[in-house]
Amino acid sequence: MTSGPGRFRRLLASVVELKPGEEKIVTLLFLYFFLITASYSIIKSLRVASYLDYLGADKLPLAYLLTAVLIGFVVTLHSRVQARIGRVNLIIFSLAFFILSTLLFWFLFSFDWTWLSLAYYVWANIFLAVLITQFWIVVNDLFNPREAKRLVGLFGSGGILGGIFGGETTGLLARSNVDFSLLLIATGFLIVCIPVVYLLLGRPGTNQSLPPRVQPASPGPAGAAGTVGFRDCLKTVRGNHYLRLIAAGITISLVVSTFIDWQFNKVVEGAASLENKLTSFYGHFNAGLLILAFVIQIFLTSRFIQRFGLRLSFQIYPVVLVGVLTGLAILPTSLLLALSLKGTDKSLSYSLNQSVQELLYIPISPDIKYKAKVFIDMFLNRFAKGLGAILLLALLSFRPGLRLISLVTIFLILGWATLNLLVTREYTLVVKKKLKKKWERADKVVTQQVDLDYIKSVFDALENQNRSQELFVMDLFDLLRQDKFSPELKRLIVARSEAASGTSLGALFEEEAAPLPDWAWTPSQESFKKEVTEVLADRSYQELVKNYINQVLTKKGPETEVARMEAARLIGLMSPDSPLAEELGELLEDDSGEVSRLAMDSASKTKDREYVHAIIRKLQEVSTREDAARSLLNYGSKIAGTLSDYLGDETEDLELRQAIISVLSRLASQEAADFLAMELLRIPPELNNELIDALDRIRSLNPEISLPSETVRLKLASEVRKYCQNFLKARGEPGPDLEKQLADSLTSIFQLLGFIYHPDDISRAYQNLKAGTKESAAYALELLETLLVKADRDLLWPLLEDLTPSDRLKRIQVLLAELNKDQT
Amino acid sequence: MVISTREKNDILIVDVEGEIRRSDITDVTLHQWIKQQLERGKRKILLNFEKVDFIDSFGVGEILASYISTHNLGGKLKLVKISKKIFLIFQVTMLTKVLEIFDDEQVALESFFRE
């Protein structure tokens, strides 16, 4: 038999995707929102009805203006009290204040003062601004964007259901046009709200119910309250581009809402059929459109936002309004269209639009968010209504008619939709800022910070210092020629030679080492470089050396190894057209690794392609691999095609092909990337990870290098398929090998994504998913959701989303079936 | 070159002995050996060079390749007890800008914990 809590959980889970342990928090939030909106809905119905009854629709702009002015004071007061007593206390304090003031209005309305309805109107607006803002601040405290998107449909519907309940209560219980005894019911809802807030947020000062990441800000230090005020909040919004965009969008949307509100009221006021039934009409109408909002919120909002993302979701509301307004521009007095307009406005505004709008705040850092939210939700909301009222009054002074107002409203909506687009783009940047990169590709760091050629030259020179005076001097001359013969290196060489002769550093350098040649101390070394270069270029000298080298090469034994090394080194210092270069072919094939590596270096300096194949062969041996790679790199991208031929040749040794992948990646050019990308779909499994890693290296070093997205996506699908297969295998026969393969696959998948999207964004997301907290992993997914196109998201989400094991299994099985189908 | 290992918490201490040079390549080079450890999931590696007498340009390449492979996987590779003469060369060639080098093993281990 199913237990009550189990049934309740299943009920919730049928509406939203609920994770274990989320039932309590979502239920309490649902109740919290329900109670404040149920209460507000009653207050609002009375607000409009009493105002129209006592003062009439034409005086509505006055109420808007007065609200805008007074709300500035509320922002200051709210910010200061929050800084002094903390958010939980503030919420309780606010609820208590509104309970008492509701009772006070109930009492004062018995005196039937005409202008009391104006005070009541303004107070009701402040009620809404304060309590709803506080509710959404709590939501921002509790959830990351992923959780909020998933759950907003459910807890957000609590607010709408509260609106329906309050509206229906008003409609059913109102005994007259304006029945203020309903305020007592609103008070009751607010009283029940207090224990709900206690259960949700914990006793003030303890905050036991909240996860550690969302502890509300504690009261500020003494005196801090004085620094938090309206100006500070305004400055926060003005100083932040993202917040400015949110603020601008909200301002225009509320100006639009004011226009729509006026249009609607004007049409309703003129409808004779509603005379003397205003309270009842508003109660029922509000409840009716809230049922629509409720259905949208509970069944569509979360699903829509999760499926289509914030960007598209944020455009639905303005687009639908434009459609209805176009109809109203054609038939300006149509009650049906006016009802549709208001219905669209409120149903989407309370559901999808409000949810998206609130989600936009979640990635903002708390210190900025709370100031901004209080300013925007409380002050700017009202200010925008006031601005709307001014614009409306200005427009009405021209007696424009409803048609023109509809057209002006459409124009405003277009501006608003543009801002929505901009703010959702900026959202990606804000989410990205939340994610710290945990590590950089080390190749990038090494390339940026050290000169690998210089390191090699220095180590070779120091080794040759003990081996041969001639080799040593040639190394130094080569460094001098490249302007790399630094004073530090000179000092090091002197120290070595002095230590070896026992004059200074004792046992630091125990081997015999050649001293620094005299020319190294010459203040002007340019003339020395010129002289040596001239000698090296001299034909007679070259002939002489050629004869010497030929003699050396006739006796290839250990006793001439150093002489052959000197010969190989010397050729590299000469011009490429020197006749000595002819000897390089033989030196490259020398049995001595030392000789052949120096020959490779010299051959690469000649840039003669004749030697490329011989050098490529040297990639096969571990001892010569790095030197061969460096020599090939000296040739530059012009040999990328030759390297690619070897890479694509299936008969070639795998180790050689692997080394070629590495060389191409170190070339890091567009050509090298193109050749590597060509292999993506036909590379053998043994080289798969190396190839993807090589391309990742190139993209991380130079994100401007592009790769063919169609090929990359095919490869991506193949890697995801492999991942799914291994995932299913690992369930049957778990083991470290399969786990490793899964981890490798995931790495490759992200690297492939980095070939289509910006590699920095992708590696940021990957690192936080792999090595971040639950919170940063959620932001990583959020970043991916904003970056990836739907097809890529669909491919990756079953692998990445925070799912229960059984859900993941199901989704991976479905995905694998689809991928297998695509393959066939 | 002879390699032996010890482990402290999740840090792999690699005691290297002998010379790291191209003319003295054993079955497995230092970089290949480090890659094997990375395959086994090791991510914090401390190379103890107390008994390393000589490193040539090949050896430096091996150290840098090991460093790159480790750090690309989000790991850390550090060096300890490197001889004064090798350290001087590392300084001149700016390798000390990239590689984290410690005199004392305990200090090196603590640096891993701090991260």
Q: What is the DSSP track for A242-256?
A: HHHHHHHHHHHHHHH
What does A404-444 look like in DSSP terms, one character per residue? HHHHHHHHHHHHHHHHHHHHHHHHHHHHHHHSPP----HHH
Query: Do A442 and B70 count as a contact with CB atoms less than 8 A apart?
Result: yes
Comparing A371-380, A678-687, B87-96, which segment has the lowest mean pLDDT? A371-380
The predicted pLDDT at position A177 comes to 60
Tell me: the pLDDT tens digits for A146-181? 899 889 988 999 988 888 888 778 777 766 666 778
With CB atoms and an 8 Å threshold, state whether A456 touches B92.
no
Q: What is the domain count for chain B?
A: 1
Instruction: Give the pLDDT confidence score for residue B76 in this predicted structure.
Output: 95
**Chain B, window 47-66: residues with a beta carbon less than 8 angstroms from a chain A beta carbon:** 55-58, 60-61, 64
**Chain B positions in Cβ-Cβ contact with residue A500 (cut-off 8 Å):** none
Q: DSSP letter at B22?
A: G
| Mean pLDDT comparison of A130-144, A266-280, A336-350, A713-727, highest-scoring range | A713-727
Residue B19: CATH number of its domain: 3.30.750.24
**Domain coverage including residue B68:** 2-114
The amino acid occupying position A824 is T
Rounded to an integer, what distance in angstroms lies between the CA atom of residue A571 and that of residue A542? 10
Tokens linked to B47: 């190379």
Among A193-202, A290-299, A715-724, where is mean pLDDT lowest? A290-299
Assigned token pair, A481 = 């020629």
Across chain B, what does the average pLDDT equal? 91
Please say if the pLDDT value at position A204 is more than 60.
no
A409-424 residue pLDDT tens: 999 999 999 999 999 9
Contact criterion met (CB < 8 Å) for B97 and A449: yes
Whether B85 and A509 lie within 8 Å, measured CB to CB: yes
Residue A30 has pLDDT above 60, yes or no: yes
Contact pairs from chain A to chain B, CB under 8 Å: 90
ipTM of the complex: 0.92
pLDDT tens sequence across B42-81: 999 999 999 998 899 899 999 999 999 999 999 999 999 9
Banded model confidence at residue A70, pLDDT cuts 50, 70, 90: confident
Top pLDDT among A242 and A736 is at: A242
> Residues A89-95: what's their mean pLDDT?
91
A768: pLDDT strictly greater than 90: yes
Angle between helices A561-573 and A593-606 (to 10 degrees): 10
pLDDT in tens, A629-675: 999 999 999 999 999 999 999 999 999 999 999 999 999 999 999 99
> Can you tell me the distance from the alpha carbon of A365 to that of A381, in angstroms, rounded to the nearest whole number?
22
Q: Is the pLDDT of residue A6 over 60?
A: yes
Q: Which CATH architecture has domain A22-210+224-434?
A: Up-down Bundle (1.20)
Residues of chain A with C-beta less than 8 angstroms from the C-beta of B37: none
Q: Please tell me the predicted confidence (pLDDT) of residue A645.
A: 95
pLDDT for res A223: 39
State the nearest Cα–Cα gap between B63 and chain A, in angstroms. 12
pLDDT of residue A371 exceeding 80: yes
- Residue B63 CA to residue B34 CA, distance in Å, equals 9
CA separation for the pair A360, A249 (Å, rounded): 12
Q: How far is CA A413 from CA A407, A408, A416, A471, B1, in A?
A: 10, 9, 5, 78, 74
Chain A residue with the nearest C-alpha to that of B75: A439
Extract the tokens encoding A396. 């009405």
Task: Give A747→chain B minimum CA distance, Å.
Answer: 9
Domain ranges (residues) in chain A: 22-210+224-434, 450-534, 708-824
Residue A777 has pLDDT above 70, yes or no: yes
**CA–CA dist A169, B42 (Å, integer):** 66
**What is the model's pLDDT at position A193?**
94
- What pLDDT, on the 0 to 100 scale, is given for residue A723? 95
Coil/strand/helix, residue A590: coil
Q: Please, which pLDDT band fits residue A494 given cuts at 50, 70 and 90?
A: confident
Banded model confidence at residue A271, pLDDT cuts 50, 70, 90: low
Residue-level pLDDT at A498: 67
pLDDT tens-place string over residues A564-613:
999 999 998 888 888 888 889 899 999 888 899 999 999 998 888 899 99
For the cut 50, the answer to whether the pLDDT of residue A214 exceeds it is no
Beta bridge mates, A180: none
Chain A positions in Cβ-Cβ contact with residue B39 (cut-off 8 Å): 740
Report residue A224's pLDDT band, with 50, 70 and 90 as the boundaries: very low
- Rounded to whole angstroms, the Cα distance separating A279 from A179 reads 8
Distance from CA of B16 to the nearest CA of A (A): 19
Spatial distance between the Cα atoms of A149 and A165, rounded to a whole number of angstroms? 25
- Give the mutation candidate from B53, B54, B55, B58 for the A interface (greatest A CB count, under 10 A): B58
- Please, what is the end-to-end C-alpha distance for chain A in angstroms? 46
Give yes or no for residue A275 having a pLDDT over 70.
no
pLDDT > 50? residue A219: no
**How many angstroms separate the first and last alpha carbons of chain B?**
30
A442, B60: Cβ pair inside 8 Å?
A: no
Residues A43, A145: Cα–Cα separation, whole Å: 32
* Alpha-carbon gap: B106 to the closest alpha carbon of chain A (Å): 24
Dihedral angle over CA of A367, A372, A377, A381, nearest 10: 170
Q: Which stretches does DSSP call E strand in A541-641?
A: none
3-state secondary structure A178-221: CCCCHHHHHHHHHHHHHHHHHHHHCCCCCCCCCCHHHCCCCCCC
Determine how β-strand B11-20 pairs with β-strand B2-8: antiparallel
CB A689 within 8 A of CB A661: no
Say whether B60 and A740 touch across the interface (CB within 8 A): no
